[in-house]
Amino acid sequence: MFETVDHIGIATADIGQALETLGKTGPLTLGKEEVIESFGVKAVMVSAGSVPIEFVEPLGDDSGVAKFLKKRGEGVHHIAYRVADIDAALETLRSQGFRLIDEKPREGYGRSRVAFVHPKSFLGVLTELVERELGKDVPPYDPA
Ligand code: CO
């Protein structure tokens, strides 16, 4: 079902600061900073070889990411796996007894369709499924 790790999500209190930190390693290739209303976050994707890093920063105090930061501090927040057909993937996980946070896909970063699986049913890791736009296998990056 999983084609590859699509990205690794890191929760940060300040995307600008996070980019500054990562930028010390060299020039960064970035996607656009996007506000993802349905998750109450802003996010930016950073190219890092074959697996991008997604920085997510909460917009307010009541998003899942805000609660994560309060409880655990900054750090790895989720691992996202790419699937070809997210509706079929959700159906499979549901039928196998996984606890879904999203019963239906939501809009994610870069016109993707995403859904989250509860960490309690997935090895303690918040798990995201990502279906990218047809024919695209990376998130959109702005040309530098
Ligand atoms: Co993500």
The tens digit of pLDDT for each residue in 99-126 reads 999 999 999 998 899 999 999 999 999 9
The pLDDT value recorded for residue 38 is: 84
Taking the centre of ligand 1 as the mean of its atom positions, its distance from the CA of residue 108, in whole angstroms, is: 8
Q: Is 65 helix (H, G, I), strand (E, B) or coil?
A: helix
Taking the centre of ligand 1 as the mean of its atom positions, its distance from the CA of residue 90, in whole angstroms, is: 16
Q: What is the DSSP letter of 30?
A: B
What distance lies between CA 4 and its chain's CA centroid? Answer: 14
Stretch among 52-61, 78-87, 134-143 having the lowest mean pLDDT = 134-143
Mean pLDDT confidence for 71-89: 97
Taking the centre of ligand 1 as the mean of its atom positions, its distance from the CA of residue 120, in whole angstroms, is: 18
* CB contact set of 19 (below 8 Å; sequence gap of 6+): 28, 30, 44, 46, 55
Taking the centre of ligand 1 as the mean of its atom positions, its distance from the CA of residue 104, in whole angstroms, is: 16
Q: What percent of the chain has pLDDT over 70?
A: 99
The pLDDT value recorded for residue 143 is: 60
